[in-house]
A = this chain, B = another copy of it.
Amino acid sequence: MARAATTSDVFNAIAEPQRREILALLRTGERSVTELAQELGMTQPGASKHLRVLREVGLVRDRRAGKQRLYGLDAGGLRPVHEWTGGFERFWNESFDRLDAYVQDLKQTREAE
């Protein structure tokens, strides 16, 4: 078996930096494919391909507007990723706690001197 398809998962879809850029840009509003391509410095086919992946995992929606096709954000699909990583939140806070405890210790030691 090879690597899973980029469309198999939101996790896979957002593994591509350019796709993350697309999503970030779409936060400010809908764009046509050409606009997107220009603003992000990619070719039209390139943008189109990335948008297709994002569409297939449900992170963007498209609607026709004349001969253009406007893409907009549908970020609900990012929620599972946010929640999954959130399940580890206490682990990176833990590091701070430890550091904090260390600093407290240091303080006390110095004050005692």
Q: Which residues of A contact B (CB under 8 A)?
A: 3-4, 6, 9, 11-12, 14-17, 20, 23-24, 27, 73, 75-76, 78-79, 81-82, 84-89, 91-92, 95
Contacts and interface: CB of A to CB of B under 8 A. Distances in A.
A113 to B, nearest CB: 32
Question: Copies of this chain, how many?
Answer: 2
A29 to B, nearest CB: 12
Contact of A88 (B15, B75, B84, B85): B75
A75 B15 CA distance: 18
A27 B92 CA distance: 12
Contacts of A76: 91-92, 95
Contact of A27 (B20, B78, B91): B91
A93 B94 CA distance: 29
Contacts of A91: 27, 73, 75-76
